[in-house]
Structure 1
Amino acid sequence: MLLSSFGASSANVALPTLQRAFGASFAAVQWIVLAYLLAATAAAVGAGRLGDAIGRRRVLLAGIALFAAASGACAVAPTLPLLVAARALQGLGAAVMLALGMALAAGQLQGRTGRAMGLLGSMSAVGTALGPALGGLLLAGPGWRAVFAAMLPGAVLAFALVRRLPDDDAVRSGGPFDVTGLLLLVGALLAFALAATGTGARWWYAISALCTAAFMRTEARTRTPLVPLALLRDRVTATGFATSALTMALMMTTMLVGPFYLGRALGLGAGGVGLALAVGPLVAALAGVPSGRLVDRHGARRTGMAGLAAMALGAGLVAVAPRAAGVTGWIAPLAVLTAGYALFQAANNTAVLEAAGIDRRGVAAGLLNLARQLGLIGGSALLGAVFAAGAPDPAHAAAADVAEATQATFALAVLLPLLGLGAAWRQRAQ
């Protein structure tokens, strides 16, 4: 979990250096990040289903090996296209590690699933925070190739640790792998991502809708579907997937808007912005394990609803905080919001994986990761557009305009956890 999060966040800090090293445009080097995220998104469900079919430990070992090989290829890549291709392979390995790491933890720690999910959430936050910090040090020292090479020792250690886990032959759900369903799902996800991040959005959305319709039709007719439709019909799992996407869209808003608000509206320097943004991952890392214990003690549904309420409160405080409150007006609400997110994630992951059953935990974990990735993409597109409407050029806009745009964005973002809270309350009532 830590490796996959580190791989996603460490490359961001190297983009300016890579742009100069390869003499490329910023749009071109952005694909170093996009290739990783798109590959991880497209492979999330397929990785989980493959683990359910032929053994989660076996597929997880293969995913770690692919991640290690791709990291080495990134470190020695002589051209930008080869680096982007290696990053896509790295993203495939990360998808396997995310889905099957979560599924294996849930299976090995019966009765302590909440604690396991809380600890994995902490590790994800540590990886996200460690990426820019360690990546910056490596850039200042050995250079950008060391950023990717630094992942190799961790991958070797992870491989050695997973080899010591007991095999899970007994929980395999056999049958032919649904290749057609996988290709249609990948097509739908890539088209959606391209619609949200590029030009020609109308056509990409249409292609995504067509692929989604064909995918649902295929899954209904296939004997061994990639995504068992029963998972999507179940109230607990369906609510969990949808709410996971909504909450991740809100978290994406903090990452997207935060640097502009702190730098432009509050006038912080680069160092101050970095420290203020580090509060979120730090709180998430510290809150993960206690959140898991609360889930095991009080139940997933109750703690999940408490987490959603805290997220709504945190976002609402950002929306009403005056600019005169300074950095405290950002950090204090962000701490509340992030702690709520850690509590919700531990509860939601526990509820979904337990409801999915032992033979479908891999695909359920893959769907959870897919929902989070879709939330990242959707939050960036929708709430990014709201922010841009108020501050079309936030890097040069007046401080007051950036502050107003931030408040308007978070006023809308409050609705996301409230929608999830309403869905959870309705499920409880039924």
Structure 2
Amino acid sequence: MHQRNTNNTNTGATFSPSSRSSSTQHNDTSNTRIIAFCGTPPRSSSISTLPTNEIEHRYVPRPPIESDFIFETCLTICKIISLFLQYLLIYKSEKWIGPYSTSASFIHWHRIDGCVIGILIIFCFALQEKLILLRIIINIIAFIYSFWFYSWKYVLVFTYPLICSLLVYQDQNSKSYQQQQQQQQQMSISSNSLPGHYCSPHAYDLRYETDCLRIEFNQRIRHILFSSFLSVYYICIVPLAFCDTHYIRLDVTLLFQFSFIVFLSLIMVYTSHYLPLELLTVFHRNGKHLGSWQCLTNHNHSSTIPSWDEKNQIGYEPNSIVKYKRQIYRSSQCSSTVAEPANMYHTRFAILFSRPFIFPLILCSIQIILVILQILFLLLDQRWFIVVPQMILFIFNTYTIGHTTRDMYLLYLVYG
């Protein structure tokens, strides 16, 4: 539905307006590229309104974004290395104690099932969206191998991710979300295809754009969380399921720490790629137009207050008071407001993206917490099989640290 326009500057964007605007559809039948700083003159209205296109958007540089192929390839390598680190933590021997240990190696190699490692390595490749056929084939192989060499209970280990996939995406078949499903089918979770902002003078077009961007954001967040969960499941959970605890002593606390760090690291890596600064800028520009409403509990002379009009073409002025569903609402104080009162989706979107620093600060806070946890784990326990995984994971996290630092610095230069 949305395609990134690489020919325009960062102030230009594309967007498909709402089907309710016949005049906009007539002028935009070929999906024409519109400059964000459009100069449509303000329209007259019987109520106190403010033209929505008077809001100016500052230019934000476009940092380079890796292609999906390069990102998935590098991420697959990181997953495979994390998988071997998990096996190191599970099958470590007691040789690290000193020369008095009876173990001949640092790892109990003879206890490791090489076929399971091969299956999990292929799973690390198959988690890419374009390799669905490989995922189906490796699932069939995993079912046969776990049933033939172990028991039917181990088949459930590889069945659980499939059940989770059905539960996560079951709402796409709901009739109440039929329109959203049509929009979601047109969207692709990719860094090469990003939505744009259409600085429309019509309030209902901006609300429709908000709904499309909200669906895009929800789709990307769901993809980030579920992809991170699947990766952690195959990297950390499946090796534990096929481990023989009769011969191997497991350190549950250590394994939980490693799994949690891997999960947070994958979330940050996926977020830095699928929610880049360019996309967050689009969300911020729409959220700046959207505004918000505050419900007034005590207000006199409610009979003289005009009702909120969905067909109103221009946004409400700051501090405007309207009546909506027997409630009184006041618009935001900083700019015009085009959001629908009592619409929680619009309210949450405005809270997250009305200011350019809110969502990047959330990501930056998670990154800081992740680094502090890794440092604490290293300070509390400095054994070699703890230091090695944490240091390697810290090297992986430098990718997201660099992205987060760069984005925050650019936002500070633009809005600081």
TM range (shorter): under 0.3
Higher strand share: 2
In terms of fraction of residues, the more helix-rich structure is: 1
Larger Rg: 2
TM-score, normalization by structure 1:
0.26
Query: Normalising by structure 2, what TM-score?
Result: 0.26
